[in-house]
Amino acid sequence: MQDQPTDESLVPDETRALVGTLVAEPVRAEITAKESQRYAQAVGDLDPVYFDIDAASAAGHPTLVAPPTFVTHAVVVGLPLDRIRTDGLFTGAMPMRLRVQRTMFGGEEWDFDAPVYVGDTITAETRLASIDEKAGSKGPFVRIVRETTFTNQHGDVVARSRQIGIAR
- Domain membership flag for residue 2: no
pLDDT of residue 5: 46
CATH number at residue 138: 3.10.129.10
- Domain membership flag for residue 162: yes
- Domain membership flag for residue 48: yes
**How many independent structural domains does the chain possess?**
1
- Domain membership flag for residue 3: no
Domain that holds residue 146: 13-167
pLDDT of residue 108: 92
Q: What is the layout of strands, in order, in the sheet containing 103-112?
A: 27-30, 121-136, 139-151, 157-167, 103-112
**DSSP assignments along 68-97, one per residue:** TTHHHHHT-----GGGB-TTSPBPPSS---
- Domain membership flag for residue 7: no
- Domain membership flag for residue 58: yes
- Domain membership flag for residue 6: no
Q: To which H or E segment does residue 127 belong?
A: strand 121-136
pLDDT of residue 1: 44
Q: Reduced to 3 states, what is the DSSP secondary structure of residue 156?
A: coil
- Domain membership flag for residue 135: yes
pLDDT of residue 3: 47
pTM beyond 0.85: the answer is no
Q: What is the pLDDT along the chain (168 residues), one digit of tens a residue?
A: 444 444 578 888 787 878 888 988 899 999 999 999 999 999 999 999 999 999 999 999 999 999 999 999 999 877 777 777 666 666 665 566 776 667 778 899 999 999 999 999 999 999 999 888 888 888 788 888 999 999 999 999 999 999 998 888
